[in-house]
Amino acid sequence: MTEWLDALATQAARRRACALATVVAIEGSVSADLGAKAVFDDQGKLLAGWVGGGCAQARVAEIAVQSQRTAQGELLTLDLRSEVLGAGMPCGGAMTVFIDPILPPPMLWVLGHGPLAEALCTQAALAGFPVTVLDTRAEAPRFPAALAVVSDDPAYAALNGADAQDCVIIATQHKGDHLILRQVLARSWAYVGLIASHHRAALIHADLAQAGLTAAQQAALRAPAGLDLGARTPAEIAVAVVAELIAVRRRRPVRPGSIIGSTSFG
């Protein structure tokens, strides 16, 4: 039975989280075979497979949801030998289930074109981030590592389909970046970065305050984006920015007063 494989593929295609539960040990009489698998969505709904019915499934579903929230695998032992102990199913045995969260990688939206945007796309893809490039002057052949290159969307409407766990980098080289940021910061992101000098970043923050953005919205902006590595070339800047993205992904604070730990993704 491979329905669980189809369920995983469907969730991946939709960029939706799920958890794969696998029976890794059994003792005595249980209702699932060793190696049996099941897939649960982020609400605990069984999408495919079988790891035991009744209360056993309910408990596995509960831990499946928990594992997706913490991005940590869980080893669950179910005692099915008593109505008082464990799952409340007197099957006469016990089983251990490993629950593995399957979390889609966050999309990195790169707004801009040119050598810097190209380097960002290449470095981010190498680090495991699917990349979508948005810019009216972006040419697909210049971004071979991108998942998609959108050049017919001057209003950046494609961002409306982004997930709250996604990241966005503004690499427009000052061309309308303050207006773009007003649009971007109106919603939640795991990371928002602006490629700019410290002087330009100060001007941007002043504009955002004047435009009425809240303190929390302004604080969500990383400007200048990237770790302070003394980067100067497009390739070096790309490394510094992607390094900060990795820190966000791995829940590592990298700046004084950093709030990365509370805004990270799995």
Q: So where are the chain's domains?
A: 3-102, 108-263
At residue 254 the predicted structure's pLDDT band, cuts being 50, 70 and 90, is low
pTM passes above 0.85: no
pLDDT value for 21:
96
pLDDT value for 89:
47
pLDDT value for 113:
94
What is the topology classification, in CATH, of domain 108-263? Rossmann fold (3.40.50)
Which residues does 124 contact at the CB level (< 8 Å), separation at least 6?
108, 110, 131, 145, 238, 242, 245
Quick: pLDDT tens for 237-246: 999 999 999 9
Smallest CA-to-CA distance from 17 within 96, 87, 106, 149 is with: 106
Quick: pLDDT tens for 1-55: 689 999 999 999 888 899 999 999 988 877 888 999 999 999 999 999 998 877 7
Section 81-91 average pLDDT: 51
pLDDT value for 167:
95
Smallest CA-to-CA distance from 110 within 178, 194, 30 is with: 194
